[in-house]
Amino acid sequence: MPTYPILIVGAGAAGLMAARTLTQAGQHVIVLEARNRPGGRIHTFTAAGFTGPTESGAEFLHGDVALSQALLREAGIRTHDPEGSNYEVAGGSAQVAEGFFVEDMPLLLEKLYALEHDVPLAEFLAQQFPDEQHQKLRDTVTRFAEGYDAADARRASAFALREEWSGNGAEDSPRPEGGYGQLIEWLVQEIKAAGGELHYSTTVQEVRWQAGYVEVRCQGGRSFQAAQAMLTLPLGVLQAEEGTPGYVRFTPELPAYRAAATALGVGPVVKFLLEFQDAFWQAPSAEVGQPMPEMGFLFSDAAVPTWWSQLPATRPLLTGWVAGPAAAALRETSDADLLTLALDSLAYLFGSTTEFLRQQLRAHRIVNWGADPFARGAYTYATVGAAAAHQVLNQSVEDTLFFAGEGVYEGAHIGTVEAALVSGETAAKKLLGQ
């Protein structure tokens, strides 16, 4: 009787962490990845015009992320904290931002903690802050949930946001020096050194299974057999409807798992990476009427509302961010139109012109994660009823199919690289019977 390897579908952080855990336990592992590279929604690149490693996906470590920090230490990768001042722009006027993101934060938390049953954020705000005097609070809280959590306020869990906003460490967001890509490359080398195989440009189309046997069929007619398989598909891919790009068929189908995936929220994000000839925003000039010296982060009412610099690095790269329903509305927008949207936003924010900024631009890349068929969104957010959905996704299918990924993870780090790493390690140990 043949001995089959363990198959892992997806070479993102969860898949690689699972593969490392399994190969180091002596298992023969084959990882199948649709992209032509590892990392999934982590991708550090250096392309023409960009002067250094640039993050098209995950960029920061959010809060107390023990496993991420341990792996970075083991890989010899240092981290550094962002620096600089935070600015706000509203109605065209800039000021240095101070304190809580909501003036009435104590009242907001008090009302959240008085909730007996979880409700969507939008419903909570409409019930608890219905009057005109709280319009700014409703707008600010909604904008924060949409921008930071990439959430739709009509679905996002008030309970989950309560925990997030009560917690400490959210502002402690260092970056890995040289980018997250180094961690991905280190994990790949660890897997290969322990005998694991990775196959890129291998798009899984169907997972046929019965207890104790799996056949994974890929585009182009190739297939792989295994006794067990771990699926680290992004939640957005599990949510995809038949006939849409990225869809993976299960035979027999797994309706409870599909329903659980659909019950969770996946937030779209458009990330704008714009590198200029110099940091024009640092000082006033004939072309820049509203400079922002030492700008770290910028929050605004522009079409592309959130921006950050690379401080303490002096590299003249600005990263723009649109998330949640606003990003969903841009899913079909061309890169050329998205670039214009970004430059128009910066012209408004810095008191400049789109023409000047276009002349200053030396390199750009726009990453529309919601439109990516192998991601179909950037990261997960908790919805009302998320606990029940996670309970389903964290169960194996007859000890044959296992699920892992940041969307499967349940805990304080939902939607992060830490969530993916922890989920991959946990699922691998479960598969090993630990």
Q: Which residues are annotated as a binding site for FAD?
A: 33-34, 204
| Three-class SS state of 398 | coil
Contacts of 131 (CB under 8 A, 6+ apart): none
Separation between Cα atoms, residue 160 and residue 431, nearest integer Å: 29
Structure tokens at 88: 């706000």
* Torsion 148-185-195-76 (CA) sign: negative
> Which residue matches tokens 């899913």?
331
Q: Which segments of 184-323 are extended strands (E)? A: 197-199, 204-210, 213-218, 223-226, 228-231, 249-251, 265-267, 269-276, 295-300, 306-308, 317-323
Name every residue whose Cβ is closer than 8 Å to that of residue 168 and which is 6 or more positions away in sequence.
63
Q: How far apart are CA 22 and CA 255, in angstroms?
A: 28
Helix (H, G, I), strand (E, B) or coil at 379: strand
Asked whether 384 and 157 are in contact (CB, 8 A), the reply is yes
Taking a C-beta distance cutoff of 8 angstroms, is the pair 145, 161 a contact? yes
Sequence ranges of the binding site: 33-34, 204
